[in-house]
Homo-oligomer: A and B are copies of this chain.
Amino acid sequence: MNKNYIIPNEWSIIEEGFDGENTKASESLFSIGNGAMGQRANFEEDYSGETLQGSYIGGIYYPDKTRVGWWKNGYPEYFAKVLNAPNWIGIHIRVNNTNLDLNMCQVSNFRRELNMKEGWLSRSFNAKLQTGEEVEVNTKRLISVEYNEVGAIEYSVKAINFSGELTFSPYIDAGIVNEDANYDEFFWETLQIVEGKNKGCIYSKTLKTEFHVATAMNVSFLLNKKNIDLKQEVVKKEKSLTYNYNLQINEGDTATIYKYGSYVSSLNYNKHELIEAALNNVQVTSKLGFAQLITLQKKSWELIWHASDIKIEGDVKAQQGIRFNIFQLNQTYMGTDARLNIGPKGFTGEKYGGSTYWDTEAYCIPFYMGTKSSHVAKNLLLYRYNQLDKAIENAQKLGFKNGAALYPMVTMNGEECHNEWEITFEEIHRNGAMVYGIYNYVNYTQDFEYIAKFGLEVIIAIARFWHQRANFSADKNKYVILGVTGPNEYENNINNNYYTNYLAKWCIEYAVECLNKVNLEYPEDFKRIQEKTNLNGDETFNWLKVAENMYFPFSEKYNVYLQQDGFLDKELIPVSDLPKEERPINQKWSWDRILRSCYIKQADVLQGIYLFEHKFSREEIERHFDFYEPLTVHESSLSPCVHSILAASIDRMPKAYEQYLRTARLDLDDYNHEVDEGCHITSMAGTWMSIVQGFGGMRVCENGNLSFNPQIPKEWDSYSFTINFRNQILKIIVKQTEILFELDGSEDLEIRVKNKLVSISPNSLVKL
């Protein structure tokens, strides 16, 4: 564990005391957002210390020119970078003409709080300037869920030991850069700067992609809680607009600036409307006032928490961890816009180009299905449906034909945004996750119509891919899949990765099952799809030949499926025997050494067993868990949750709890030594799964009903979680001695608990 400075609290993330060493980590952890826009917890005032400035608008990206060591055919020429957007939060503060900059002051009473219950960020501190003046500063900031193009700041300065001149200089600035830029290019061009009385706007566009964005601000002032009007001095530069406001304050006075900011973009408006829309946004919300925005924000978050909160009693760190995860997921994606998706860093950092990984299908869809109405998960599936043509193009580039699709490893608009050959071209198991996402959704919602209307086209294209990607090995008299990278990226270009082969076989079989069902139940859709995809009867016959004769590496000696061909040639030394100073191995070992070692970055065979648990006996699960868990270093954020869930399912509660803490507090405790770059958003959905599917033991039965097999770690007094199941909200409370169920809905619900059928009526508490 690297850092341990976050103060445990049930509903808030709290930092006390100022330490420049933690600034970048805190900027990530205290990030705020509303699914449409978001930002790192950068300071409003100037800061000359280490910082990563970041403010982001969902769906706005830049296709940066690819940087490679050695070009390989099939690499994308460009790929989408998450884009640092114009700064709307900035306020230079000057006291008697000296800049307020925490890096240059004596700072005391520093406190920062991210209130997750209500959705705001606050900061307070005393700062003594080099020139001797001391101020007390209190700030509060939010990004509104209700008005999702708006953010607001309350920034108060109290003169502690002086009377003199205070200057507020709020600004907006489109002259921002990306740290993650391959060739240090500027990504934005400023088109127009509009000034006005206490408000202003910068109209800019991204280069290449030509997203047009208007960034507006509106400011107002209080002196000792009374409105005042200040003279405005305009400083207009090439890419920024600053207003200077001077006021005389006396010792003990408190001056406050309110700053409202707004982003609007050509994703949602005609270009010529943008400036007006942005200015209108800040005008409306400033009229409403900061206090009212806070009230609305509380209400918005109350609704979110109602359907998604997980309460843990008796373990405040575990409690803080899970709420942080749920909070950040909601800040990243609310599910209202099918063009958006869940970036690996959300709005907390710019690392990793693109916004969409297989994480969405394998990890995030269960979370959003379980905590929101079903149209949200459907939106996530439609995102891929809408990018099917690009996935077919992508496969064509690699030599596939006849409508086979390979979804990109990372994407923003359907095009591949990654260029390491061993990932881009070979980590093809992602294609299986696309189908699994559909299967999972239909299973949970029973919305089979989705397959007839949309999903089947995706499923066919992916079945075609697997059929073409496998080849017949005369030597093995089986179909093999050569040259892949599995979920365990510490193996590259391997043959017959168990997980990949399993998914390939399953995808084909599921495709044929869906085809038959659509043929029977939606004959018109079947005809439409048949024509659109040029599907013929022989084709599925050929697919099935591959599926039925798929090869799986297996060890007689250990009685387990092997992660890949040749895995047993490695020296199998458990992780526990590795010297501590050699871990994490991805920071200590050279890549070749990692590759030829037995160490597993993230669940791979176990990921497959997790996804298809019902196809494995308990003994099989135990055997595979006992073989692979000791070799797994969990250096991917996506790993511990899967191990936690499987451990719980085979009654290994200490291991399940250990892995739960690792996933829940991954960023808060900075296990991977990289939280300064941003939070690991997608794995947060895995944390949710470790509670709901792990300890809670939730599964979907074959008849489509829910089953639960709840357990509780001995460290906890109780925990509870809610499940949105077909638009009713079921709450499960698990105590050491009893389990309670409560249903917020209108229809009776039949569930299976520890293998007994239980019927639950709305608005009644069922005890077990």
Contact = CB atoms under 8 A, between A and B. Distances in A.
Nearest to A471: B571
A5 interface: no
A592 B483 contact: yes
A103 interface: no
Contacts of A492: 492-493
A480 B565 CA distance: 14
A1 interface: no
Contacts of A587: 73
Interface stretch (A418-426, A436-444, A635-643): A418-426
A591 B495 contact: no
Contacts of A494: 493
A498 to B, nearest CB: 15
Contact of A73 (B183, B422, B475, B589): B589
A758 interface: no
A482 B596 contact: yes
Contacts of A287: none
Interface string A552-571: 00000100000001101111
Contacts of A208: none
A248 interface: no
A590 interface: yes
A482 B570 contact: yes
A494 B471 CA distance: 18
Interface string A571-612: 110000000000000111111110110000000000000000
B70 A473 contact: no
A225 interface: no
Nearest to A421: B591
Contact of A590 (B425, B473, B565): B425
A215 to B, nearest CB: 31
A67 interface: yes
Interface string A459-500: 000000000000111111000101100000000111100000
A422 B420 CA distance: 11
Contacts of A589: 73, 399
Number of chain A interface residues as a range: 35 or more
A398 interface: yes
A594 to B, nearest CB: 8
Contacts of A399: 589-590, 593
A615 interface: no
A631 to B, nearest CB: 15
A3 interface: no
Contacts of A474: 568, 572
A475 B568 CA distance: 6
A566 B568 contact: no
A595 B572 CA distance: 27
A291 interface: no
Contacts of A419: 69
A654 B518 CA distance: 60
Contacts of A472: 571
Contacts of A67: 67-69
- Which of A471, A472, A480, A570 gathers most chain B CB within 10 Å? A570
A251 B50 CA distance: 73
Contacts of A183: 183
A397 interface: yes
Given A482-B596, A596-B482, A72 B569 contact: no
A713 interface: no
- Which of A420, A587, A595 gathers most chain B CB within 10 Å? A595
A74 interface: yes
A157 to B, nearest CB: 43
A568 B73 contact: no
B73 A595 contact: no
Contact of A471 (B421, B476, B570): B570
Nearest to A567: B475
Contacts of A596: 471, 482-483
A358 B571 CA distance: 30
A14 B30 CA distance: 71
B74 A591 contact: yes
Contacts of A569: 471, 473, 475-476, 480, 482, 495, 565
Given A73-B587, A471-B570, A569-B480, A592 B68 contact: no
Contacts of A72: 590-591
Interface string A341-367: 000000000000000000000000000
A449 B162 CA distance: 86
- Which of A67, A480, A569 gathers most chain B CB within 10 Å? A569
Contacts of A74: 590-592
Contact of A69 (B68, B73, B397): B68
A572 B472 CA distance: 11
5 contacts: A72-B591, A472-B571, A483-B596, A492-B492, A493-B493
Interface of A: 66-70, 72-74, 183, 397-399, 419-422, 425-426, 471-476, 480, 482-483, 492-495, 557, 565-566, 568-572, 586-593, 595-596
Given A67-B68, A183-B183, A495-B569, 7 more contacts: A69-B69, A69-B419, A72-B591, A73-B587, A399-B593, A422-B493, A474-B572
